[in-house]
A and B are shown apart, each in its own frame.
Chain A
Amino acid sequence: GDSVTQMEGPVTLSEEAFLTINCTYTATGYPSLFWYVQYPGEGLQLLLKATKADDKGSNKGFEATYRKETTSFHLEKGSVQVSDSAVYFCALGSSNTGKLIFGQGTTLQVKP
C-alpha cells in the first residue's frame, strides 16, 4: 500500500543554518504531495504542496520539489529561524481516495 517515510528527528540547528528534511514515498498512480507543520500548541497547517512530477511547492522560505524518479519530496530552507521550531509532516494524497497518508513527523529545534 501507499506509504511515506521521513527522516527521524529531532533535528537541532542553529539560527540561519540550512535545513533539509528528507521524505520518500511509495504510491500507485500519481499522488499529490504535501508538507504540513504543527507549531507547539497549535493544529496542523499546510506549509506547501505539489500536485505533479517536477512541481516545486514553496511558502515562507521553505521549498520542496516533487521528484518522481527518486520518489522523494525533501523539504529545504536556506536559513532557519527560531520561529521555525515545530514538527513537520510529509504526506501524500491520492485523487482516487480521500485520505492523506502521513509520515511519522520530524521535530525541528532551532537554537538562537
Chain B
Amino acid sequence: GAGVSQSPRYKVAKRGQDVALRCDPISGHVSLFWYQQALGQGPEFLTYFQNEAQLDKSGLPSDRFFAERPEGSVSTLKIQRTQQEDSAVYLCASSSGRLAGAYEQYFGPGTRLTVT
C-alpha cells in the first residue's frame, strides 16, 4: 500500500516568509509525528498527534512553529516568519500504535526547507 507522503519535497523561502508543509500518513494510522533533521544529524522530535489531538508539542522550537491535524489524517506543519536556522529536512512519520514509542514509525521522504 501507499506509504507516508510529504509535499512539497523541496521548499525555498526568503527569510520572513511563512511556509506550510503537508504530510499524508499511512491510511488508518492513529499516530503522527513531525521531526526536524539538520544536516549530518539525527532527526529531532517536534510534535505528536494521536488522531486529531496534539498530545505532545514539547519539541517545537518556538511559537513560530505550529502543527495541526484537524480530521485525524492529513497534517500540516506551519512555520511563520522563517529564519535561516529553520533550514532543515522536516520528516513526518506515522504509526498504527497508540503507545507510539513502542511501535515502529514509518517515515515519509521529508521536505527539505532552505531559508535564504
Contacts and interface: CB of A to CB of B under 8 A. Distances in A.
Contact of A100 (B4, B56, B105): B105
Contact of B50 (A49, A96, A98): A98
B107 A43 contact: yes
Interface stretch (B39-47, B68-76, B80-88): B39-47
A102 B93 CA distance: 14
Contacts of B25: none
Interface stretch (A60-68, A75-83, A87-95): A87-95
A98 B101 contact: yes
A101 to B, nearest CB: 7
Interface in A15-37: 31-32, 34, 36
Given A43-B108, A45-B107, A98 B40 contact: no
Contact of B101 (A46, A93, A104): A93
A45 to B, nearest CB: 7
Contact of A43 (B41, B42, B50, B109): B109
Nearest to B110: A43
Interface string B24-51: 0000000101010000111111001010
Interface string B83-116: 0000000010100000111111111111000000
A32 B105 CA distance: 12
B20 interface: no
Contacts of B48: 97-99
B106 A98 contact: no
A105 B35 CA distance: 15
A86 to B, nearest CB: 14
10 contacts: A31-B101, A44-B93, A49-B104, A93-B101, A93-B105, A98-B100, A99-B45, A100-B43, A100-B45, A102-B43
> Which 10 residue pairs of A and B lie closest in terms of their CB atoms, listed nearest first?
A102-B42, A93-B101, A98-B48, A99-B45, A44-B107, A98-B100, A95-B102, A94-B101, A95-B99, A43-B109
